[in-house]
Amino acid sequence: MIHPSASTHQRHLRLAAAFAACLLIVSACSSNDDTARGDSNATESTATDAASTEESNEGSSDDAPAGAASGEPIVVGNISSLTGGALFPEASIAAQAVFARVNAQGGINGRPLELIIEDDAGTPEGAANAGRKLVEQDNVVGMVASASAIECAINSAFYAEQDVYAIQGTGVDPLCFLSPTISPVNTGPYSGVTVSLFYASETLGLDNVCNINLFVIPDLAPAFDGAVARWQELTGKELTFRAAAATLEDDPTPLMLQARDAGCEAVVVDGVEPHALAVGRTIEAQGLQDIQWIGLTSYYSESVASQLGSAGNGLQANSEFEPLESDTPANADWRELMTEAGVPLTSFSQGGYLAATIFVDAISSIDGEITRASVAEAMRNLAPVDTPLIGTPFTFGDAPTHAPNQASKFVELQDGAWVTVADDWVVLPS
């Protein structure tokens, strides 16, 4: 059993509270594009309606199609931010679509999968209450496709104590990647910084690589420092320039001009959508096209592309999954299922789809009763999962921490559309 100290627990709470407050600030500046993220109210309603329908049909197979699962449900949990400052609705409803298809095809040995989605509202209290409800009252066998900026920081120690294993659809805070019982399918912001720096120096072959931190949260600083230190260790190189904004709302222009004056050839810059828009507009306004600007996955949205138009030409971003625009077979099943279910085609729905698919395959191999204990054992014994949606195998096992997705592809804005510019995965060395 893992019992964190009181000081560690308080630090997790401070981190989550700070993260939640900061996301409220940046989300107030953000304009969500319906095409990119889907209408948030409509998406929440879809998730709620689907959950209600599933609950109302529980234990009754009168209206079920031939061959559909009708046994005792296998109850699985999900905690996502469906309301609040930063919304992550797609991963949960993508997982629900995967489960619905499995149920229509007979479920797991005749047992349907029931996904209970809890909204943490982007608050530490909401995440804590949701975690305890799912584990202690609903008796879930595991957690799948959760997507929240703070949920791991609040619940990771609790899950470890209760032997609850979670395949995270969107890992954001550092504790998502530092827990023995949580394994995210996405790269995340910290490995995202490392792989983007690695792409600039090793793939593009640029010597003067720099980093600007716009997503300023004190408790996250060590994780971002670690991401840079890891790049330095992998390459034996040093950054030409590194700087951080003072607050989340700072204009990035002064820092970007400092990067130019420092001789930067490439700059990896973090942040969320409002930062992406500010960076793109500054590139055009200040004539900074000679520098290769590389944003994180948070920059990679149709909203950013449509709002920047040609002003963002040349701005790149890392794609944690197979790029959305790709017509490769890797995306075919995801795109078809999400389209049929009315789920927005975003990287968040890719994460939810992948997490649910891996979970289904893992528990299908269980010989005997499917319980929390048997699911935990299946995750500890899970063989590496090779999938073309990500550049490195998904793993769980009994390691103390998990960050299996260590690769990205890179996309570039060209006249208001994202275009893949690195067809091969850029993979971080072990």
Q: Give the per-residue pLDDT at 416.
A: 94
295-314 confidence digits (pLDDT tens): 999 899 888 999 999 998 99
Could you tell me if residue 418 is inside a domain?
Answer: yes
Claim to verify: residue 35 and residue 114 sit in the same structural domain = yes
- Whether 301 and 344 map to the same domain: the answer is no
Residues 31, 154, single domain; the answer is: yes
Is 404 inside any structural domain?
no
Question: CB count, 10 Å around CB of 277?
Answer: 21
The residue written with tokens 């975003």 in the block is: 346
Do residues 196 and 315 share a domain?
A: yes
Lowest mean pLDDT among 52-66, 80-94, 126-140, 218-232: 52-66
Which amino acid type is present at position 1?
Answer: M
Tell me: the pLDDT tens digits for 242-284? Answer: 999 998 889 999 999 999 999 999 999 998 889 999 999 999 9
Q: How far is it, in rounded angstroms, from Cα 90 to Cα 84?
A: 15
Does residue 1 sit within a domain?
no
Please say if the pLDDT value at position 66 is more than 80. no
Segment 396-424, tens digit of pLDDT: 999 999 999 999 999 999 999 999 998 89
Q: Are residues 294 and 148 in the same domain?
A: no
* 277-267-21-143 Cα dihedral, nearest 10 degrees: 100
pLDDT score, position 85: 72
- Using an 8 Å Cβ cutoff, are 142 and 104 in contact? no
Q: Is residue 92 part of a domain?
A: yes
Q: Is residue 313 part of a domain?
A: yes
126: in domain: yes
pLDDT at 215: 84
Q: Quote the pTM value.
A: 0.84
List, in sequence order, every residue forming a beta bridge with 118; answer none if it has no partner.
Answer: 79
Average pLDDT, the chain: 87
pLDDT band at 17 (very low <50, low <70, confident <90, very high): low
> pLDDT category, 2, cuts 50, 70, 90?
very low
Into how many domains does the chain fold? 2
What pLDDT band is residue 15 in, cutting at 50, 70 and 90?
low
In a shared domain, residues 226 and 112: no
- Is the residue at 226 inside a domain? yes
Residue 61 is predicted with a pLDDT of: 38
Tell me, yes or no, whether 129 and 177 share the same domain.
Answer: yes
Residue 15: inside a domain: yes
Q: Which domain holds residue 263?
A: 189-319+409-427
Nearest-5° Cα angle at 403, 1 to 126: 65
Residue 19: predicted pLDDT: 55
C-beta atoms surrounding 393 within 10 Å: 13
String of DSSP letters for 241-285:
EEEE-SSTT--SHHHHHHHHHTT-SEEEE---HHHHHHHHHHHHH
Query: Is there a single domain that holds both residue 392 and residue 421?
Result: no
Verify that 107 and 159 share a domain, yes or no.
Answer: yes
CATH of the domain at 415: 3.40.50.2300
For residue range 158-182, list pLDDT tens digits in order.
999 999 999 999 998 899 999 999 9
Percent of the chain with pLDDT over 70: 85
Both 36 and 122 in one domain: the answer is: yes
Give the 3-state secondary structure of residue 421: strand
Query: Exposed, middle or buried: residue 19 (CB in 10 Å: 0-12, 13-18, 19+)?
Result: buried
Rg of the chain in Å (alpha carbons): 21
Whether residues 280 and 344 fall in one domain: no
- 196 shares a domain with 180: no
In the predicted structure, residue 325 carries a pLDDT above the cut 70: yes
